[in-house]
Structure 1
Amino acid sequence: MTSQGTSRTARRAAATHRAIVDAAEEVVLEYGSDALTLDAVADRADVAVQTIYNRVGGRSALLVAVAERAFDDNRQYMDAAYAAPGAPVDRILRAAEAYARFAAERPHQFRLLVEPPNEPDALARVADLVAEQNSKLAAALAEGVADGSINPHLDPATAATALWAAMNGILALTWRADRLRSDDAQARELVTTMTTMITQGLFTSAR
């Protein structure tokens, strides 16, 4: 086969792969990850189930692909917050606001990252992606410890995990089915309350 033919074949394969992941993402965004089946994706992408196996893999591989897209979207929100100028605490507060905005604007993607499907490959990959983002929070915390604006007794990695878990807990209130459920506005208010606690010195070293 000529290089031109090989290139054309590769482009077709890439296009099919993209169409399959697009279809899987649409299913997850519309109905949640529990609704993701190979048959549902095959129908939506107008391909055979075997083609999904050939181009992407099984259900776990589809979930990983969708989760990676969700994380790429989340990364855009978070990286902008961390890249903006300002003191470490300012960047941490902006990151909290960005995380809450992502959860409100992309709820299915957010939930996929917070509650990854019980598939070994998906669980492992989402954990890797979360660890990557939490390392940026830990780095900002470490800068604050170094300049004295954040309590020097805090371990940055542990504090980053605690903040991440607290944010997830607040934002997960929007998923409840009982009277304790928060709407997006209430969740943002709770996030603001938490960040206000931070600005009032929760993480500032004792004088």
Structure 2
Amino acid sequence: MEPTRAQRKAEANRRAVIDAAREIVAVHGAEAMTLESVAERADVAVQTIYNRVGGRSALLTAVAEQAMEENRAYMDAAYRSEGDPETKIMVAAAEYARFARERPYEFRILVEPPDVPAAVARIAELTREQNAKLAGVLREGMATGFARADLDPDRTATALWAAVNGLLALAWRPGDLGATPQELDRLIEVFISAIADGVRAR
């Protein structure tokens, strides 16, 4: 059944509200995101936010979920790619870096989530799901002899995720603490090479 005009408008308003909130959180931090600031940016009434999403906590949770879903699209494509476990790990790292470049708002929200329990819990849940896919590739590599047999796949996946987050976060560090997009690309190449050497069985 096709949605009605009213339903389409309601969904468009909901998307506009979440997009506006996401941009405010990413650029100015969660503290700057008030329902009034979101209403002004999205050009809707505050009551519309309550009707379409909910209060501030619900809105921040929706922002976090949207960011994670955007990330999932990139990462799922990487894990579906053809190739051996090593190739899939390299593709996953490259896709995560591409996500950070192409979706900087979403990436920053995932690295520095708003301090709202529901949002943090949801990001943690979805992160565990995604890291489990990387752990699965590592297990496949161990089974085929590519990866070291002494690896702990779950902890290794978490460590790799955290390391890449820290590396890509250099994009918004101030002054000499930061890195240009070109330098980040080179650093990612170095990281991927080091990880490959560290994971391979000897």
Instruction: Give the TM-score taking structure 1 as reference length.
Output: 0.87
2:80 corresponds, among 73, 79, 83, to 83
Query: How far off is 1:169 after superposition?
Result: 1.3
- Count of aligned pairs: 202
Distance 2:96 2:57 in 1: 26
Assess if the C-alpha contact under 8 Å between 2:142 and 2:148 holds in 1.
Answer: yes
| 1:12-31 superposed matches below 5 A | 12-28=9-25, 31=28
Superposed, 1:14-53 pairs within 5 Å as: 14-28=11-25, 31-53=28-50
Pick the aligned partner of 2:126 from 117, 126, 129.
129
State the shift of 1:29 in Å: 5.3
The answer (yes or no) to whether the contact 2:74–2:96 under 8 Å persists in 1 is: yes
State the distance in 1 between where 2:6 and 2:81 align. Answer: 42
Residue 187 of structure 1 corresponds to which residue in structure 2?
184
- Asked whether the 8 Å contact 1:113–1:126 carries over to 2, the reply is yes
Is structure 2 residue 148 aligned with structure 1 residue 151?
yes
Q: Any idea what SS the aligned residue of 2:105 has?
A: helix
Structure 1 unaligned regions, length at least 5: none
CA distance in 2, matches of 1:177, 1:19: 30
Please tell me whether the aligned partners of residues 26 and 108 of structure 2 are also in contact (alpha carbons under 8 angstroms).
no
| 1:44 to partner: Cα distance | 2.5
Taking the aligned partners of 1:174 and 1:8, their CA distance within structure 2 comes to 42
How far did residue 7 of structure 1 move? 5.7
* Cα offset, 1:58, TM superposition: 1.7
- Which is worse superposed, 149-158 or 66-75? 66-75
RMSD: 2.3
1:204 corresponds to: 200
CA offsets 1:147-195 (integer angstroms, 9 cap, x no match): 1100110111010001001101111122221413111211121111011
Contact 2:67–2:107 (Cα < 8 Å) also in 1? yes
Q: 2-side partners of 1:59 and 1:105: how far apart?
A: 27
Distance 2:177 2:15 in 1: 40
Q: Work out whether residues 32 and 108 of structure 1, in 8 Å CA contact, stay in contact via their aligned partners in 2.
A: no
The range that moved more, 188-197 or 51-60, is: 51-60
> CA offsets, 1:5-52, max 9 Å, x none?
x96655554343233223323434554544321001112333332331
How far apart in 2 are the matches of 1:44 and 1:178? Answer: 30
Q: Of the two, which has the highest radius of gyration?
A: 1
* CA contact 1:33–1:112 (8 Å) conserved in 2: no
**Contact 2:138 2:153 (C-alpha < 8 Å) held by counterparts:** yes
Secondary structure of 1:154 counterpart: coil
